[in-house]
Structure 1
Amino acid sequence: MFEMSDLGRMNYFFGMEVMETSKGIFLSQKSFSMNILDKFSMQNCKPTSTPIVVGMKLSSQGIGEPVCESMYKSLIGRLLYLTATKPNIMFAISLLSRFMNCCNDQHFQAAKRVLRYIKGTLGHGVIFNKAESLKLIGYTDSD
């Protein structure tokens, strides 16, 4: 046996805001999203309604100026973590992640469009609806 403590209702979990509503549990990453916008100087950008341009063709061929690979990787990594509560950006991020080792200005501009989309959807997240009955089961392995 081991001791446990009740720390009250959960407000944050791995950088995600957790809010219990009458409908269920709502998860969002508003503060994380705002941090990304700040990091890439996009806090005052104009929001867009879609994360990626419809029919956009991205190529690894030398179209556009090369950009800092580590900065691009950092942005894509942060956006990948954001997909936990914004699954609607997953396609755009999976497309952009293909160019981690050969990124250019075209790819970075497409990633900045995702940031503009995030700016317009800061309050969005995922809701897990309440079930009529809940049976909580936990498993553990002591190895």
Structure 2
Amino acid sequence: MDSCKPIGALMECKMKLSKFDKAEKVDVTNFKSLVGSLQYLTCTRLDILYVTGLISRYMETQTITHLKATKGILLYIKGSIIFGLWFLTSNDYKLVGYSDNNWAGDKNDRKSTSEFVLFMGNTTFT
């Protein structure tokens, strides 16, 4: 994938993955290795945390659709390699938090997804 064109978005806005997908199955070892590597990368790349968690739901029923979504994450990383978190010193210790919820958004079992980010001053800590 070194010569692939990078993309600017992690996933299509209305993309819905399903564990009941009838598409062609893919190599289990390759898919699990790829998702595991992405999970490791989420320690420093918080922008891929949600989609990596979403892809991780399909570790047992991986199809070509799931693999394409996973490769889309790699293309995004290639295009955003210069992004990162800046940890700046600050005397402002105000705690600020933001959250986003997707109530019953999973079409397989109606699970909800919640996301949040917390800042202490100018620094993200969770």
Same fold (TM over 0.5): yes
Q: Distance in 2 between matches of 1:88 and 1:47?
A: 16
Say which of 79, 92, 98 aligns to 2:57.
98
Aligned length: 92
Q: What letter is aligned with 2:55?
A: L
Q: What is the CA distance between 1:69 and its match in structure 2?
A: 1.0
Q: What letter is aligned with 1:55?
A: K
Q: Distance in 2 between matches of 1:99 and 1:112?
A: 14
| Partner SS state of residue 12, structure 2 | coil
Equivalent residue for 1:112? 71
Say which of 98, 120, 123 aligns to 2:82.
123
Identity %: 37
* TM-score, structure 2 normalization: 0.69
Q: Distance in 1 between matches of 2:42 and 2:80?
A: 13
* TM-score, structure 1 normalization: 0.61
Alignment RMSD = 1.5
Q: Distance in 1 between matches of 2:22 and 2:84?
A: 35
Equivalent residue for 1:78? 37
- Deviations 1:26-85 (Å, cap 9, x if unpaired)? xxxxxxxxxxxxxxxx11111111111111010111321000111111101111111112
Q: Quick one: higher RCO (CA 8 Å, sep 6+), 1 or 2? A: 1
Structure 1 unaligned regions, length at least 5: 1-41, 133-143
Which runs of at least 4 in structure 1 moved beyond 6 Å after TM superposition?
Answer: none
Determine which structure has more spread, i.e. the larger CA radius of gyration: 1
